[in-house]
Amino acid sequence: SPAFLTDLENKLKKARDASGFRFLMIDGPCPPGHKHDPDISIQLARLAVETNYYPLFEAENGRFRITHMPEENVPVSEYMKLQGRFAQLFSDDPSNGLTTIQRQVDEQWQRLLDKQQYENART
Using one digit for the tens of pLDDT, what is the confidence trace for 16-29? 999 999 999 999 99
Which DSSP symbol is given to 75? -
The string of pLDDT tens digits covering residues 58-98 is 999 889 999 999 999 999 999 999 999 999 888 777 667 89
Q: Whole-model pTM? A: 0.90
Report which of 31, 46, 121 is spatially closest to residue 83, judged by C-alpha positions: 31
According to the model, what pLDDT value does residue 31 have?
A: 96
- pLDDT score recorded for residue 26: 95
29 contacts 44 by C-beta, under 8 angstroms: yes
The percent of residues above 70 in pLDDT, for the chain, comes to: 98
Contact at 8 Å (CB) between 52 and 109? yes
Q: Quick one: pLDDT at residue 13? A: 97
- The whole-number average pLDDT for the span 32-38 is 96
Least confident of 47-61, 84-98, 109-123: 84-98
Q: Longest Cα pair distance anywhere in the chain, in angstroms?
A: 52
66-to-1, 27, 109 alpha-carbon distances in Å: 13, 16, 10
